Amino acid sequence: MAKSIVVLISGRGSNMEAIVEACAREGWDARVSAVISNRADAAGLAYAAARGIATAVVDHRAFASREAFDAALARAIDAHAPDLLLLAGFMRILTPGFVQRYEGRLLNIHPSLLPLFPGLHTHRRALDAGCKAAGATVHFVTAELDHGPIVAQAVVPVLAGDDEDALGARVLAREHVLYPLAVRWFVQDALRIEGGVVRQLTGEAQLLL
Ligand code: GAR
C-alpha cells in the first residue's frame, strides 16, 4: 500500500515542495497526505493546498507547555496515519515523548554537516570557523536536538567572498536533491540502522558531492 507521508513545516517549505514534486515525478509508492505547520503564515501551506494536499495549523502559542503542544500536534498528524513523518524547516524543539512516538519513521534535514553545528545559524558558524566545506544532513530524529543516525549528506564548497546568504543558497539547492533522495529510500524500505549507523540497500551513494 502507498506509504502516507506527513510533513511538518514552519515557513517557506521549499524542501516539502521538492519532496512533493519528486514523489509525483518519480512515481513513488507514497503520497504526501498532509502538511502541518505551527505557523498559520507559513508560505508552504498555500503551495500544499494548491496541490490538493490536506493542511493544518497547530499554533504553539495556544498551548501552555511543550507537552500540550506536542500532544495536539500528534493528534493532527495521526489523523493521516503516517508511515513517515518529515521535519522540513520545522523550527520547534520536540519533546522526548513525541520523538519516541515516531521513532524509526521520523526524519529531519539540517543545514550543516552534522555533528558539526547543531542548532541555529549554521552557515554563519561555518563561515566564522573558516570551514572550506559546508552542507546538509538528513538524519533519523532522536531525543537529542540535531543528532541521530545519518541517512545522507551533501557537501558544497565554501567559496572566497561567501556570506551567509550565498552559502545558504548553495546548501539549500543541494537540500532539494538530498531530502527527496533520502525519503525515496525510506519509501523503498531500503534503510537499515545498525549500531547507530544507517546503511541503505539500493547501492546509491549516501554522500552527494
Ligand atoms: C532548510 O535550510 C532546512 O535545512 C532548515 O530550515 C530551512 C527550511 O527551508 N532546517 C533547520 O534549520 C532545522 N534545524 P524550507 O522551509 O524552504 O524547506
Q: What is the pLDDT of residues 154-203, one digit of tens each?
A: 999 999 999 999 999 999 999 999 999 999 999 999 999 999 999 999 99
Query: Are the CB atoms for 83 and 3 separated by under 8 Å?
Result: yes
The 3-state secondary structure of the chain, one letter per residue: CCEEEEEEECCCCHHHHHHHHHHHHHCCCEEEEEEEECCCCCHHHHHHHHCCCEEEECCHHHCCCHHHHHHHHHHHHHCCCCCEEEECCCCCCCCHHHHHHCCCCEEEEECCCCCCCCCCCHHHHHHHCCCCEEEEEEEECCCCCCCCCEEEEEEEECCCCCCHHHHHHHHHHHHHHHHHHHHHHHHCCCEEEECCEEEECCCCCCEEC
More confident residue, 155 or 146: 155
Centre of ligand 1 from the C-alpha of residue 25, in Å: 22
pLDDT at 145 exceeding the cut of 90: no
Q: Which of 60, 80, 110, 123 is catalytic?
A: 110
Which protein residue has the closest C-alpha to ligand 1 atom 3?
89
Residue 100 phi, psi (nearest 5): -65, -40
The ligand 1 atom nearest the CA atom of 18? 18
Residue 120 is predicted with a pLDDT of: 96
Centre of ligand 1 from the C-alpha of residue 72, in Å: 23
Mean pLDDT across 125-152: 96
Across the chain, mean pLDDT equals 97
pLDDT in tens, 59-113: 999 999 999 999 999 999 999 999 999 999 999 999 999 999 999 999 999 999 9
Q: Among 35, 110, 112, 116, say which to mutate for ligand 1: greatest number of ligand atoms within 8 Å of CB.
A: 110
Residue 40 is predicted with a pLDDT of: 97
Give catalytic status of residue 110 as yes or no: yes
**CATH among 3.40.50.170, 3.40.50.2300, 3.20.20.70, 3.40.190.10 for 1-102:** 3.40.50.170
Measured CA to CA in angstroms, residue 170 lies from 50, 68, 111, 115, 137 at distances of 27, 37, 11, 20, 14
Q: Which three cell numbers stand for residue 5?
A: 507521508
Residue 43 is predicted with a pLDDT of: 97
The ligand 1 atom nearest the CA atom of 12? 16
Which protein residue has the closest C-alpha to ligand 1 atom 8?
89
Residue 74 is predicted with a pLDDT of: 98
pLDDT at 21 exceeding the cut of 90: yes
Same fold, 1-102 and 109-209: yes
Task: Identify the residues whose C-beta falls under 6 Å from ligand 1.
Answer: 9, 11-15, 88-89, 109-111, 136, 172, 175
Residue 29 is predicted with a pLDDT of: 98
The ligand 1 atom nearest the CA atom of 11? 16
Q: Which CATH architecture best describes the domain 109-209?
A: 3-Layer(aba) Sandwich (3.40)
Q: Where are the domains of the chain?
A: 1-102, 109-209
